[in-house]
Every structure is written in structure tokens, then in C-alpha cells.
Structure 1
Amino acid sequence: MPKKMHLILFIAAFAAVMIFSGALSSEAGGGQLLDIGEASWAEQEITEMSALEILEGYPDGRFLPYQSVTRLEAVAMLIRTLGLDDQARAMEEADVAYQVPYLPWGRGYLIMGVERGMLDKNYLNQLEPTGAATRAQVAALVCLAFDLSATGSSLDFADADQIPYGYQEYVAALVDNGLMQGLPGNVFEPNSVINRAQMAVLLSNLLNKELADPYPDRRITGTVSNIEPISGLIDLQEGASKFLTAECRYYLDGKKVEAAGIKNGDAVKLTLDDGGQVVLVQAARSSEGPGANQGQVYQGLVDNVFFIGGECWVAITCLDGTKITRSAPSSVMVNDPSGQMSLAGLSAGKYIEMMLEDNQITSINVLSTSTVKGKVTDVESSILTITSGGSRMELEVPGGVAVLKDNSAVSYDTIAVNNEVEVAVYGQKAIKIVILRDTSPEGTIEELDGGEITIRDVYGYINTYTLDEDVEVIIDGDSEGLGDLNEGDKVRLELNSRNYVTDIEVLDSSESDLEGEIRDLDTTGAYGITIRNSDGDKFTYKVVEDVDVYKGSRQLDFDELETGDEVRLELDSDGWVDEIEVLDYGESDLEGEIRDLDTTGAYGITIRNSDGDKFTYKVVEDVDVYKGSRQLDFDELEIGDEVRLELDSDDWVDEIEVLDSDQSTEEGVISGLRTGSSPRLWLTNSDGDEERYDISDDVDCDRDGDSIDLEEIVIGSEAEIEIEDDEVVTIEITDDEDITIEGEIIDVRVSSERIQIEQSSGNQFTYYLEDGAILRDSDGDRIDLEDVEEGWDVELRLRDGQIYRLTEL
């Protein structure tokens, strides 16, 4: 998701449509809220947000649930949700190097919004703070405030084409994360203003999804051991005891009740006011104990809906593979994103949540899902990585997820890299996976018979493909004939739309894909192992049950292996791993804490291992000493250092590795960079979490084995960094050619089809356009290179280091 798309969020073009006619008013606490019954669907969330002072009532006691939220109010509410209210207030009079609109209140929230990356300082003077915020604008603000990543999911709302250009990914991210949903009629209404009740629900969702927790001491969960509404006291089995306010509101299983409706044994979430008293009790009835009615909630895909004797039955398959079939009274209505419907309107394939009481369905909600098509780029035991439309996404895969191929159910292990799949997604979870076809299957030739080729893939599965009459065979880059192929050759196939093989490429027979670092292990059921080789490529193999595992002269069990071990694999004739050699081995007496050092004359070292035993070794004069990727002198070692030793054939120490507990390695995308006297680096990992690091003055930077400077690092590059003593000491750029980057255009050369950009770090880079590159202006219109102007902020999508898409931000 482009980080600078917020540059155009609030410019005056939007304001012309959405100006809020009323004056901007600062909210104030008003005790009991008198009018939230007008929005009964949001009562719980309004009460919760009011208690936490994130979204307050007005002095006259009204909440005004249907009043629109201004842009400034939206920013302030999100800042409060992040727990940064005090910091924002402290910035009210801050001296900043950019222009902030004059406001009677809230200047500090705008400054904090800039600090959090929600607003751009260069466009702040164009902000219309009293203008009403739209649903699409708030979606963008939430994504930027909470660093939510785009999922690449498509939106199936009837008015999806009305979502402003650049906002689609923000809206999709909030819908996929269950933070916002559509409105009746399967519409999103992106340009409609958001009201205070809707905002309360959104903010509550952020807390319930654990994306924020600004006041953890004011949100308590537990089980009721005693409740006395008259004396105003509630006790929890976990030991907490709290007073209930006179205005406290009570909800049981989502329905409003009186205090007497809460029973001992109910699971509760308590929301406290700033005085520590309970203002909201949200209870769920347990399946045991007083007042129990066996209330349960299940989520799953609808398998069947059928009627027996006038009674409706619904059968679902949960994501863990459990199948549930329950009946529902005819009065039960189905809550669909497009509106309510009868049970007869519920169809197979829908992903639903159904609530049970006394083992009977009491309500059904159709959950908003999306469908993503793409190519599989990585398969792990619980994570499926696919690429769709140039975006890479990781989807959580529950244990019993439905996988279909050719309309038949298959196991999850059937999915292979390069499969083209269609995935039904709820939040970040895959709820159904359909294998459409193998676009570039790889494997070992089992048989080549006339017009067919049979290969065994790395998972051990055998597949047969029909050869196109013009099939081409490529060996070492040269075109050859089918007769040059042999059983046992490792090949990659290219298929056309009919799944006929059009190209057969014989792959390099080197063993690089059989040696590397363990990235994943499956030690239950059928064994499996995933390794990453020195080129960064991942390979997954099935493992025979009686696999031989060696670590030096020792034989290990398979489950003694650990993620991170460097290993070499041997395969049997069926392509299964039958032998594993651990490469980075060492005996227990070669690892421990330094107890003595002799750095004069003949070098010597004494270590104490984890068992308390001491060992003394002679050290060669030119011993190699490493601390991470840094090389040290022997006399830089210190007593107390944890080290691992390597011995030569004479049992002298010829290599020492310092095992620094303050040392760590992180992978991700460089999302920010500051060079100069106090260099810093921002890294965003695969979970979307961004961390800031100081950079060591003697940092080592590397790309493709070559040393580079900080000024050569592109923001947007994929990298692996090494942190030591809270500073980055090494930066290895793993990919800066197939990435998405941003910057300001400082030079355009039409004749040579190249542009030069400057990024926020001050670093400048020149890129050439790929043949057929797509260029778009800020309105989304296609343009030519001569239309591109210096000074534009742009997003560049690179492929092999060349621009294949340019978009003005």
C-alpha cells in the first residue's frame, strides 16, 4: 500500500463536496448519554468509547450519534485510540517547521498526525479541518495510523467503482480486517460522511482486534463470582472487585439487559471510567454454571441448507474441519451485508457466524469475505504466500481449510509453488482454496510417453501433463528435442490455458537446492522440511519416517532438528529426504563463557560450558574472530563473552564466534532512511510492524556481495539487518530491483526514457522505463513520458530494476 497516498487525502477538491456546515466544537464529558438509544445498534460501542474518553458526549448530555465526524475529530479520535492523547495535547503550542492551520483547539493532534504518518506536512495547509470526513478518508487514516498492510483483495461492493482512486487498498484492508463493513444493498458508500455512531463501532473494533489498547487498566476481563447491583459491586473469580456506576449499562450475548440478567459464572468484559468504576458490562453466558443456556458461536462455510417437516437445518464446516449441523426456528433471520433475508435465502458456500442457545440456532450473520486470485510463491504448514496483481500477501491457513482441485477435495500438501489459486479470504485467513492450475510445475521426470510427460514434484505427488504439438525443450539455454530428455531430469514446465505443456526447461542439476538453512519443520504426521539456500530460494521436501540425521559423528532424531540449523539433504529415488547432515555442529566443550585469555606469546583461551566444565585450548596466531558479520582481533575478546570455538586438525582453535545475546537479525522492507551525522533506519517486517533503529558509524552495507554506502540504499528495498547493542551494524540488501518505491522526480529524460528521483532520505536514483511501461497521473489517467513533470511525487513499481508502472501521488 503506498505510504504517501495520504498526500492527496484532504486537499480542497474533496472539501468542496464534504464541508460540514456546523462549527467545530470541542467535546466534553456529559455523564450519562441521553440519546444513544437512537442508535441502539451501537450502544455498547458508544458507551465503551465514551468511558475511555476516546469519543465523548456533549455538555448537555447528548451524544448526537448521527452527527458527522470532522476530519480533525477523526484524527483526534485515532490519536486517542493509539494512547497518544497526552503527547498530542503537549504539542498544542509546539514550534514546527511547517504551516499548521489556525484552530481554536486540536493543533497538537494535527502535529501528532504528521508524526504518525497519517498526514503530510507539505499538504497540511490545504487541510479543511472542519470538513466532514468520508468513510473512504477514515479508512485511509486508520491504515496509516495503525500501519495496516494492503491485502490485495478485490472489493465486490456494488459501488466499488465509486471508491476514489488510491483508496481501494485502504478500504479493502479495513474490510478484510473486519474493521469496517458494507451497508445494506451491498454498498460501501465511500464518499458518504461517517457519523459518530459508526466511528464508535470502528474504534471499538480496533480495540477488540487488539490493534490498540490505550488504557489496559480500564478494560478488564474475567468471570463473575458475585454481582450485587443494589450495593453496586461486582466481583470476579480472578480476584478483582469493582464498583458499578449508577449509569452502568449491561449486555448479555450482545443484548441489553438489566443488572439482574448478569449471573455468577458469566464471562465478562468490564469497561471502567477514569475513576476506576464500571460503566459497561459485556457478558457472555458460559455453557456451565447458574443461568447457563449452552450459548455457543461457530464460524464456517455453509455446506447445505435443508428443510425437514417445516424445520430448517444448516450444516457448516468450520475452519478446523469440524462439521456442525443445527436446526433453526423459522423466525430466525439471516443478517447479510446487503440486508436481512430469510433462511431460504442462505446458500452453500457462504461464510457465516451462527449463534446457538440450547443447541439451536438463534441468529446467523453472513460474514464479509473477499476472493483473491494469484500465483503461489511459498507454502508453509500454516502460511500460504501468493502474489496477486504485483502485491505479495501472506494468508493464515487453519488446519482444516477446504482445498479443491478439479472440483475434488484434496489435502493442503497438494498446493505447490507456482500453482494458480483462487482463495476465499476472511480477515487474514484463507477459508477456502481452489487450485486452478499449475502454471509452472517443477519436478523430476518419471516417464515420457508419446504425447505425455509425468513428473514427481518435491512433495512426492505424481502428475501427468499432455504435450503441445509444438512443445519446446530448453537445455542449458539451447533448444533441443524431446529425445534429449531423460528420466530423472529435473524440469520446469510451462503450461498454456488448456494446461498443455508448451515449454520444458531442464533445470541446473546443482545441489544448491539441497543445502541451506531450515526455515520450517513438520515433525508430526508425515514429516516435512523447508530449507532456504544461499540464493534465498526456498524448497520444501517430504521426509521418510526413518530418515537418518547426523550432527558430526552423532546420530539425532528428526525432532531434534531446529529452525535455523544449516543442513545438507540427500534424496531417495522418489525425491523424499532420507538423510540429513547438520553442517553447523559443535561439541558442548566448544561453546561456553570465556574464563581466561592469554593474549601474549602463544595465544590461549579457557571456556566454561553450560555444565560448568572448563576447557583450555591453544589458539593459532592468525585465528579468525567473528561477532556477527564483524571481524575482531583476538585481544578484543573479554572474559565473560559467550563464544563458540572451531578447531583445526591439530586441535588448536582457528576460529572463534562471539555469541552476543544483544545481537539479533531482522528481515523486512526499508520503509525509511536518514543519512548524515545521526543515521537511522526504519524497517517494516512481514507482519506490517515498523521499527526504528540507529545505524552504527561503521555499519557494513552490502548488495549482491559488493560493499555499498548508505547513499546507495533505496527506501523500499528488501533487506536483512544485524543489530548489536541497539545499533544496526550490517545491512544486506536482498532485493532492490523487484520492489515498489516512492520519491520526487528531479529530472526527466524523454529521449533516453529515464527519470531521476530523490527520496526522503536525500538519496537520488535514476531508472529506465521498461518497454510498455504504464504511466498514470494523480487522476488515474494514462499519460506519456513527456507529460511527466519535475516536482511530482510518484510511486514506481520496478521489475528487474526498470520501471513498469509509474503513478503520480
Structure 2
Amino acid sequence: MPYSTSTWKKLLISTIICSMLSSGAAYAETAGTTKGAASTEGTVTAPASGSVSMLFSDVAAGHWAEKHIGKLSLQGIVKGNNGKFRPADSVTQQEAVVMAIRFLGLEDEVDAAVMSFPESFRVGNYYTSYAALAFQKGLLEQETEMKAAAADSSSDWGSKPATREWITKLVVRAIGEQEKAAAMSGSAPAFHDAALADSSYNGYINAAVSLGLVNGVSANRFDPKGLVNRAMMATLLSRAEAKYPVNYEGQSQGVISAVSDNQITLYYADGRTVTYALTPSTMVFRFDSEKTSSLGALNAYTNVMVIAENGTARYVEQLDANVLVESVTGTVGSVDLAAGELWLKVGSGYQSFKYDGNLVIENSSGAPLSLTDLKEGSTVEILRDKFRTTPLVVKIIVKGAPVSRTGSGTITQIQAGKITIQESDSSATWNVSSSVAVTRNGRPASLGEITAGDKAEFEIHNDLVTKLNVTATGSQKVTGTFNDISADGKTITYIVNGRPEAKFIAASANIIIEGITNPGITDLAKDDELELTLNADGQVTQIKVINREIVMLNNATILSYVPESKVLTVSDSSGKPHALSLSSKTKIDFNGTAMTLETAGSMLVKGRKVSVGYSDSNAIILKFVFQYSGKLSGINSLTNQITIRMADDSTVTLPLESPTVELLGKANPVLADLKTGDSVTLLLNATQDKVVLIKVGQVVQQTVSSVDTAANKIKLTSAEGQTSEWTAGSALAISDEKGNSIALGQLTSGQVVNVTYEGKTAVAIKKVAVTNGQIAAVDASKVTVKDYSGQTVEFQLSTGYQVMKNGASAPASTLAVGDRVEIRKNTNDQLVVTVNPGIVKTYWKYDAAAKTLYVTRSAVADRYMYNVLPETVIQSADGTKLDIQTLKNGDKITLYLFQDKLLEVVKQ
């Protein structure tokens, strides 16, 4: 009978075991505070994410209105009660009035001894003075509200839930747009349910929609009588601040001149520079998202709003995408260190540029430089601010002059012809000269002796490392005879020259024993000769057994087992018997689950199939066999047998029992679909003597479409557009580009991954680094790319790389400086360079509100809209950065996209 994976598992077990208001805004108020002050009710401990949940326990991280609730709370406009905000509670009319007064910054004008109201106009005692001020300032129309209160004696005017149309009118009047409302009152709002609104609200609804304060609950419905909850009210007032700015206490607006993990520096219009501390509880947002952002997503030299308290920024929001710097390229004429002045030759003349102590200088690879590295004639790009009265250079990128300098640091990575060195405050990768002079504490050494973790002094000449002196070793190797492992598994004792020595074992120590797959500490045997690798702290990072070779007997048959002597006798595939001694140190595996010898003893019966690895006559590992994995060597149709070569280079031949074949992407596959060299997993029947299921392994490049860490789920989309969902866990290994294990949450939507399948089941996911950018340099051995973040990345064109151009393979000689390329590794871990030709279009217009670029169409079916992202590069053909607003209808442009994201727009 044919078997599926699930059928095989069941058989095995039984045999062996038997939009805005619609989307949201604010909160009602009780106790008063000073204008613009953050609530002081209790002490709140903020989470590391900087979420609004640090203020209100019932507003979870990721809440759709967290940005607005957090901001208004810190501005003193909305408050909570007992640490809760109650975002879903309806706002009453009197609560809305209090929030509107605070929004306008008028709370200091509230007079507690002010007038009383007619008996029909009932509000809570606390709210009376706020309502009086609202009438006085014109936020409320006295006659209209008094009549409404008198007409409905069944409820107090103040405690009546506020409707969408009533709140809309209150906010429009609060920001002083009564004239716009009056001018737009002649027509009904453009919603299908406009007739449900009182006609007196028409002008206010139209005005609010035109100002971008409110939207409908759907494209065609406004729901004028619908109630407004506290989250909705907070959002409405937050967005209204763009139309009616108020100077709240602790709030300021400036330009980011510097930002790090623990502080942010702002330059203000009056010339002041102020640095604010940042903490894990600082809330960070951007103008183009309602979700919590990160410090890394803030763009330097852009406008930002900060709400601070006692020198610490509690709320930071980037207000736009306008980077307030200009780029100038020229050659260095001279540097006046005393005057803080740089002279550049730009075009045919010289220009002077001022700088201060905050100047950043780096080479094209991002490595830090100093002013003394600016040599006459060096080609540089300077970034000069546009926000100071007297502009200053904020950054210099040395492009055309090779760097020569000395330094010291820790070697973090060694690649072919490259070395990465971590200095005190930066890390950089440098090319290594073929004639590099290497020493260790002044004595001659070779480059091959250097390891990651070594501390070294270095000398760079013309961008090449020419001298390297290792001053402290990051790792070293020692040998000895294994003696013991401590009970907690943290210490190893070994014998050197007859004397015991002990070392701590690092948490991620690697164990290597030839013949054992994924060995552990428990696989070490007394008298094993060991080679130990120690890190700079003297901890063991690798244990390698160097005197023991394990022989594997695959598909062996048990002849007998004597529990008293613990001797297991098996016959190999040729029928030769082997008597082996078992012990408590024998590693026993039952279909992936570890077993003790006592538990496994009753299963060691005559005729059972096992795989056993032994050294001398001692069994080191014993596996109950229900499947084999390896490379297909062949299928003999005459004997009806299949042969595979396993990872340890041993082979196994097994008979077939009408096996089912699982092959991804193939409907109803058969044995004829298998090819020599295919990775296969053979699953056996209940009696372990025949193959009933063959799962073909393959690696496929796919894209992550979504990650749900709460449910531990990931969705992957194939090149054909088919999406599948998988559960992360022990059965699905996830790793980074280097193969290091990572958590599910470290994958993101849009990430390219290599997925390993066994049959139709995903068993491993590995991240694939994708670089998009412009070729800055290319030769026969390497290609250098400047990516869209401005970083320069170098790729070695070693054997096995591939260049794709116009959909076909092409030689590397066809690559040229200026080509836009996408670089990634394929499923065979080979580099693939794909030239992105771009799409030539004719510019039509740009919708700044929707951040959408429009192009003209040649045919009705042509795409004509493209979303412009904050990271989208807009520039001319010569590389000059452009403001998208400078593009004109009819301009010829080239668009470069990746995964439907607009990376670059180039004006021709």
C-alpha cells in the first residue's frame, strides 16, 4: 500500500509503542494638572520597547492609536485612571470639552468660581468651569447646546456620549476653522449616509474632511450618529495639532544633528544645540507611520519633535522626510585647522566651507578618518547643513584618495584577501596587501596563524593593510587526555604530562568526533585524546577528539543481546557478526529521542534493524532505524532495491515495497523522477526491512510573506506565487546567512530565504542577504556596489559566480560602473549578480499626501502608480540628489524596483 508521511508516523507509533475616527483617537479627563505637563499619577516603569504601555497598562504595544495616546498623554491633554486609559470607552461631551481646552493650551484660564448654568444644562461639578470657558472661547455655540440640553431632559448634557458629528464640529471650532465650515455648509457631505447627519453639521464635516482631520468609517459611510471612543478622540486631536500648533510644556521642535543609542542632539532655529538623554522607554515615531519606530529609522538632519522631561526625551517623532543637507563634490585644496575651514576646488574655482568639532569624516567604505587624512587633491563629497544661519559641513566622504594610517583593534573576521578590525568606536573591513608583513609580538608570523579575536596593531597604506602585528591572542589550542566533565557540564578536566588541568566550557562550545553526527559532551570517552580551542578568556570553545575513529554499521541486524554483560551482537549487511559492548555512555537514539540503556534493553531483540557506531569493540552510538538519509546512488529495478550514500560516506542498500515518492512541485511523482545524486530520505515499514516512502530533498529560494511570532507561524511565497504556512520549532531550523541559529522573530516580511524541503515538508530556513545598489567599481576579481543606504559593499567574483543580464547568463566583463544590480547567493551558495535595467517612464505628477508617484501610460493596462518610500532615492543621471517636487510633467525618468518596492527614481 502507498504511504503518506502521516500514515507512516501513525504506523510507526502503533507498531513500536502500541481610518481615522473609524480608526481612532483619545480619553476623558478627571483631575486637572498644569498646562502641558505629563500626568504625575503614580510611578510607571517603561518597557524596553518604548511602548505607550509604559503609561497605560491597557494600551498594548502595537495598538493602532498608541502614537496619539502616548503623545497626548505626555502633552497633558489626555489622562488615565489607576494606570489605565480605557481606549474603547465612549467619550462624553463634557470629557471632550476638557480635552479640547487642554489641546488649546487654555487650562490656565479655567476659573473654578465661574458662572452656573440653567437647570436644564447639567454637567458634572468638575466640568462646569471648562464648559463655561468653552462657551467664552467659541468652542461651543451656547444657544445651540442649551437648546439641545433642554430638548432632552432624560440625560445630563455633560454625560451624554459624544457623536462623530458633534466631535467633528467641536474640533473644527477649536482650531478656528469656522469660516471654512460656513463656506462649505451649502452642500451635504459626500457620504451615502449624509442624510443621517443634522444639516447644521454639514459644513463642519466637509471642512474636517478637507483638512484631513476625519475620514469616513468606510469609503462611503461617515456614521454621523456613531459614538467616539477615547482612542478615536486622541487620534483626532493629535492630527489636529498639525493645523493648530500649541507650545506644550516640555515640547520643542528642531533638527536632528546627532543621534546615538543613548542620546539625541537637536539644533534649534535660535542657534541653540541641546542634547537629550534617551532611555529604553523613550517612544519613537515617524511621520509616515502610526506604529512605534526605532532610533535607527530616524534620519539625521530632519525635522523632529521632542517631548522632554528633566533632560530626558520621552517622545521623539520625525516630522518629515526632508533631509536638510546639501551635497557638494570637489577636490581638497587646503584645511585650516585653527579656523575650522576647508577649501575645495569645485568646478573651476575654490569655495570655503566651515566645520565644527562634530564633523564626521569617513572613506567610501565607511571607515572613520580624521582631518589629517584629508590630503590635497583628494576627491571628497561633503554634506553641508541647510538649517543653520551659517551652514556647517556635517560630513565628509573621501572618495578619490587612498587612505594611509595606523591603528589598533580586535580582529573580528578574516576572509579571502580581507580583514575586519574593530577599533574603539568603529569597525571597518580592509583589503590585505599580498605582501603584508605579519608578526606576533614582533616575531615573524603568517596570515594563516591569525584568528578572530586576536588583538593587533596595523598599518594601512593606499587602502591596503601592509603591516599587522598581533599583540594578544584571541584563541589558542591545547591538547590533553580527557578525564572528566563536571556534573553541571560546565567544566572539563584533562591530563597534560600526567597532571590534571581544568577549563570552563563556553556556552556554545562545538564538539567534533569523527563518525558521529552532532556529537555532545556525553559522547566523550575516558582516555580520548583532545584538542581544545580556548578563547581570549580561557574558555573552551571547541573540543575535538583526535585519536578515535568511529566505524558505522548501517542497517545492521540484531543477533542477540545479553543484559548481564551488556554485549550486543549484530550482523552487518554482508552477514559478518560483530560483538559490541554497551554502557551507560552509549548514545542511544530512538527516532530522534534519546533513550537510556535500561529503557532500550527490552527493544534489543533478534531481527531488529539498528545502526551502530563503534570504536574498538565499544558501542559509541546506537540508533533504532526507521529512516535513512543520504545521496541517491542508484535504483536496481531487477532486484527492486535502492542504494544511498550517507553523510559518513558509508552506503546502505534496501529493498523497495511499492514506495510513495514525495517531490516538491511534482504531481504524482514516481521512481523514474529520481536522479542519481538527489538528496533523499528513506522511510521504512514497521518491520524495518523495506522502504515504503521516499522523500526527495531540495533547496528552494522563497520569500517570507508574513511572520506571526505569537502563533509561532511563518508564511513563505514561492517564485510561482504559491504561499505555504509552517510552524517554527525543533522540526524547522532557522538560521542567518552564516548558518547561525536565530529566532523566528528575526525574519521579516520580504526577506529572501533558502528553504530546505524533505519531500513537501520544510525542514530548514536560511536567510539570504540581498544587496541592491549601483556598481561603483568592477574588475575581473570583484565588484563594488554602493547600496541604497549609502554603504559600499565589495563582492569577490570567485569560482562559481553567475552574472544575469537581460534574463540570460552573461560574462562579468559586461558589468559596468553605474549599472544597477541585485546581488544575492543562490540555493547552491553561489553569488548571483543580476543587472536591473530599470523601467523608463514619463513623469506625470506626485501626490505628496499619498506619497504616490504617477507616470503616463502607453496602454490602459500599464501600471501608472508607484508608492514613494522614505528610503527611495531621487536623483539626476549624474548622481545629484533631487527633491521629488522638482520633477515636471513630461520628464523622462527611470524607475528601479525590487519586490515591487521603488528603490530609485533617476531623472534623465
Q: TM-score, normalised by structure 2?
A: 0.30
CA radius of gyration, larger in: 2
Q: TM-score, normalised by structure 1?
A: 0.33
